[in-house]
Amino acid sequence: MATCWPSVTGVARVLYAEREISQPDVDRALFLPADDADARAHALANIRGGATPGTFGITPAGVRA
């Protein structure tokens, strides 16, 4: 939770202002790729492993960084 605190407060700000949040709001707060399921799964694994959302990059397979 400590590594995700900035994302949690970001979602809380949206919830406070809009009175509701959506899955895309949470995805944006966690910096999850929207268009690549594999990259999304990898990003979530990084977060579960202790990485802070937004501090790492995910390069899709077959794409040179």
pLDDT at 58: 75
* pTM assigned to the model: 0.73
- Give pLDDT, residue 17: 92
Q: What is the pLDDT of residue 19?
A: 93
Give residue 15's identity as a one-letter amino acid code.
Answer: L
Distances (CA, A) of 63 to 33, 38, 52: 15, 13, 23
- Look at residues 20, 11, 46 and name the one whose alpha carbon lies nearest to residue 58: 46
pLDDT tens column, 6-62: 888 888 888 899 999 999 988 988 899 888 888 899 999 988 888 888 888 877 667
Given a cut of 70, whether residue 2 has pLDDT beyond it is: yes
